[in-house]
Chain A
Amino acid sequence: MILAANIGLEIHCQLTALQSKLFCSCYSDYRDKTPNNNVCPICSGLPGSLPLLNQKAVELAGMVSLALGCKVPDKIMFYRKNYFYPDLPKNFQLTQYNSYGITSIGVDGKLDYDGSKKAVIRRVQLEEDPGRLIYENNNNNANSYTLIDYNRAGVALIEIVTEPNFTDPKHVRMFLNKISSVVQHLGVCDTKLEGSVRCDANVSIGSKRKVEIKNVNSFKEVEKALSYEITRQNTMSLHDIEIKAETRHWDDLRKITKQARTKEEEQDYRYFPEPDIPTIILGNEFLSSLKAIMPELPDERKIRFVTDYELSEHMAQVLIENKEMSDFFELAVSIYSSPKEIANSIITDLMAFIDDSEQKASILSGLKIEPKHVADLVKLVDQNTINRNTAKMILKQIIKTGEMPSQLVIKTNASKIDDTGAIAEAVESIFIREKSAVIDAKNNPNVANFLLGKVMQLTRGRADPKIALNLITRKLTESN
């Protein structure tokens, strides 16, 4: 009997919108910096240093809490999570903890995803990132030492903890995409930056023990890791093998989870309040001022797209999934107001070229297309200067060259041919070239389409297909 899975998530999001780290003024953007140069006494844990909480970090964390429907308490505190590891400068992590009273920036929230599915958020908390451990040759077994870079130590993280209500890895993937969209729309985290979002998961089946899955490097991999783990646990259960409560790491080369450490060896973190950071009183205006500056959230934007632009729910949904895309759309519409057509052009034609693999800085990286191009293109179609097919082809061109559609149309003489005479000439040429097809056409009506295709090819898509088909059919009938 396959048991139902219970999945809970712990999502870590770097607050990449910050200039400085969570507790010091070092740069929060540690990427591509000389190792161990972006440090100070505080983030490198030098003796005698004291943490200085970043005001904007609290603000951005507050926005995330609000966007996830959480209650934001009047005051927040920080706790020490005590454990040893070579990437921890102080051998404790400054984080938030709710077991002795609510101290984190948000609790008890919810987030809808994939239309009507509901996820329950247990809490949102602020904490600091550890340093980075570098493995030479990507294999830490070969070396007698580890290399450490503290540039990332102290960078601000938001941790979002969900209730373990997910049952299907696919849903988890959809939820993670929604979270991604939310933090993008809030402008707190650039999810394209390497390492800016990470997800750990707790998985159990039936009422058996929970296994923690860590070290999953992308949201895409989370779905794979979860599927694997659920299968692994069910297989063990079917063979009556005990499932141990443990931490497992996702090996994304071999696509399996493997044991990291057992829960029995698990640390006692000995949480206690950080004495160097007072209780922070958020104040009466904290929430109201956040609400005033809060950017539009994806769900709100979707509603607006449907109401104001009369897009279908489905189209609106596709657009808001990625903030870049919805921004692109709105900019295009502001240039030329034909929302349905522009949405169509983006979703049907442009999206095929988009690279949303998580490494690129922008999904439009390397593409020379801008909102003004799509606006112009749609305008040409609306004005009947070109047909949709031509538009599609021109789009391909624009992506490479960045030229304005109207220019391209003139250059390549791509404007629609609806002059019957010109089309008739094209039909004539095809009839001469495709003699055997013409003979077949007499018996097989479908061949007319083949001939139409050839006419479209010859006219480089500019012929009006209706007129062309008409002429072809007539000519075929005539020769009978």
Chain B
Amino acid sequence: MTNLCGLTTKQVTLGIKNRDFSAEEYICQILDRIEKIDVKINAFITVDKKGALQKAQLIDRKIHNREQNIGPLAGVAVGIKDNINTNGLNTTCASKMLKDYVSPYDATTVKRLRESDAIVVGKLNLDEFAMGSTTEFSNNGPTHNPWNIDYVAGGSSGGSAASVAALECAVSLGSDTGGSIRCPASFCSVVGLKPTYGSVSRYGLISYANSLEQIGPIGKTVSDVAMVMNAIAGKDDNDYTTLEWVPKYTLHPTKKNIRVGLVKQLVEGADQAISKCIYNAMDLFSKLDFECEEISMNSIRYSLPSYYTIAMAEASSNLARYDNIRYGFDLNPDGYEWNTYFSKVRSNFGQEVKRRIIIGSYVLSAGYYGKYYLKAQMLRSLLKRELKSFFKQYDILIAPTMPVLPFKIGEKIDDPLKMYLIDIDTVIANLSGIPAMSIPAGFHNDLPIGLQIMANELQEQTILDAAMLFEKASNIQRSPDL
């Protein structure tokens, strides 16, 4: 029996439809692999063996009965970041605060995946409440980078990227508030997309920073990402921040002669090995007949403080609901005075989460609102304006995804500000709402480097086109030998 775990989305759906193998055969291999190697990787918090098998059998029945309504993602093994609600399964946000929580409903993206006949295999590890860049802040232990298990997998969607790289699922869903899809995608040498703000429903995504985040797909190839987007994206009446549109991504590049702008400050601010890799990528683009130029962005130096101000402010409010009365962990409130009970249960948040709540409360408090929060929001307008003018001249902007290579577990964990600074390349996409993708661009000392491709709002197709061409030409390895 051939190893089915390494198949792409397209290959799985075709294989099942053509009856080269059954959904059950495929999913059993996946589940076996998870059982075997996840002890090393720690990508999964929950594995739903029973549910996955049931769904696989259902699909096989549909195929056997030659039913017409086979979904476009039939049989594809999907992992879901554990801050996205899945009906009947635990959704913990890798936090003690939601340790025992069982979702009573599906997030819209999960619902749409199920309707496309994808198979949800389990819930994936993350930094607690999606706050972090390495998945080291998880209550379930860090996720290890499949390329070198002593190294971080990136975050906060570390489990989502590592599981794909380790062939534990074909695709996964992550969430990206300040780089949380792209960072781990870059560190794990897989493809990750943060879609345009409002293009994918956030209904069911446990909020960290509502005005910045989106759910997005991670896969081994660009086509994986495109196929998942076609299934999950589009307007949702359950989310007032979604845009009026329907996804129709094609997998054959539709545009040549793409105009590329390389963001100078971001390349120069990265480690040398990374800058070199990005310049090589630019050369590759030139060989593909893309026009490439260097550009300079003025608002970049304000982007990190602006991002963190807004993210922490929104987080401090979003996390207020965790008082353990309606959901959480087992602690009887009987006998406690309410202030005491609330403070006691909330002491179960991790360090990083507590820090962000405090700072978030600070920047929102009377007297500071104008100085920090309002200013940060205005800066977003400035950034958007600057980007809009660039997108008149360029179709895509490129930069490194991360300014540093993956580092050892434990290396940066004691210096929060240092940790925040590695988000410098990714936050501009969240602040402005534009789509951004990370694709594998190379290695240095066997550690992955990601190239970031950004485009104007709702221009994901342009990113896909450029990325697909790049992917074909660069032929970077997508999965380590494990």
Contacts and interface: CB of A to CB of B under 8 A. Distances in A.
Interface of A: 41, 44-53, 80, 82, 84-86, 89-92, 100, 144-146, 148, 150, 268, 270-272, 275-278
A63 B310 CA distance: 35
Contacts of A91: 320-321, 323
B104 A47 contact: no
Contact of B366 (A46, A86, A92, A270): A270
A270 B240 contact: no
A263 B327 CA distance: 32
B238 A268 contact: no
Contacts of B240: 50-53, 276-278
Given A44-B326, A82-B316, A92-B320, 15 more contacts: A46-B105, A47-B206, A48-B84, A48-B85, A48-B91, A48-B103, A48-B107, A52-B237, A82-B320, A84-B323, A84-B339, A270-B316, A271-B369, A272-B373, A275-B209
A397 to B, nearest CB: 56
B327 A148 contact: no
B223 to A, nearest CB: 29
B320 A84 contact: yes
Given A145-B335, A270-B317, A48 B326 contact: no
A146 B206 contact: no
A93 to B, nearest CB: 11
B435 interface: no
Size bracket, chain B contacts: 35 or more
B321 A47 contact: yes
B320 A48 contact: no
Q: In this complex, which of B206, B364, B374 has the most chain A Cβ atoms within 10 angstroms of its Cβ?
A: B364
24 contacts: A46-B105, A46-B326, A47-B85, A47-B91, A47-B327, A48-B107, A48-B203, A50-B239, A50-B240, A50-B241, A82-B316, A82-B320, A84-B320, A86-B338, A91-B323, A145-B333, A150-B326, A270-B316, A270-B369, A271-B369, A275-B209, A275-B210, A275-B314, A278-B241
B25 to A, nearest CB: 34
Contact of B241 (A44, A82, A272, A276): A276
Contacts of B333: 145
A90 B321 contact: yes
Contacts of A46: 104-105, 326-327
Q: In this complex, which of B207, B238, B240, B369 has the most chain A Cβ atoms within 10 angstroms of its Cβ?
A: B240
A348 B320 CA distance: 57
A86 B320 contact: no
A44 B314 CA distance: 19
A290 to B, nearest CB: 22
Interface string B180-194: 000000000000000
Interface in B342-395: 342, 361, 364-366, 369, 373-374
Nearest to A277: B240
A82 B105 CA distance: 26
A52 B366 CA distance: 28
B187 to A, nearest CB: 26
B196 to A, nearest CB: 15
B297 to A, nearest CB: 25
A145 to B, nearest CB: 5
B124 to A, nearest CB: 16
B207 A48 contact: yes
A46 B320 CA distance: 12
Q: In this complex, which of A49, A100, A271, A278 has the most chain B Cβ atoms within 10 angstroms of its Cβ?
A: A49
B203 A50 contact: yes
A49 B85 CA distance: 10
Contacts of A148: 325
B313 interface: yes
B317 A144 contact: no
A278 B326 CA distance: 28
B226 interface: no
Contacts of B325: 86, 148
Closest 5 CB pairs of A and B: A91-B320, A270-B364, A275-B210, A275-B211, A47-B206
A272 B326 contact: no
B202 interface: yes
B315 to A, nearest CB: 11
Nearest to B337: A144
Contact of A145 (B103, B327, B334): B334
A47 B317 contact: no
B146 interface: no
Nearest to A81: B317
Given A48-B85, A50-B240, A41 B335 contact: no
Contact of A272 (B101, B317, B342): B317
B313 A272 contact: yes
B5 interface: no
A89 B317 contact: no
Nearest to A143: B334
Contacts of A272: 313-314, 317, 364, 369, 373
Given A47-B98, A272-B317, A89 B369 contact: no
Contacts of A80: 317
Nearest to B368: A270
A44 B369 CA distance: 29
Nearest to B211: A275
A276 B314 CA distance: 11
B101 A47 contact: yes
Contacts of A100: 369, 374
A80 B338 CA distance: 22
B204 interface: yes
A80 B314 CA distance: 10
Contact of A89 (B85, B211, B238, B321): B321
Contact of B105 (A41, A92, A275): A41
B278 interface: no
Contacts of A277: 240
Nearest to A148: B325
Contacts of A45: 321, 326
Contacts of B364: 82, 270-272
A182 to B, nearest CB: 31
Contacts of B361: 270
A84 B202 contact: no
Nearest to A36: B326
B205 interface: yes
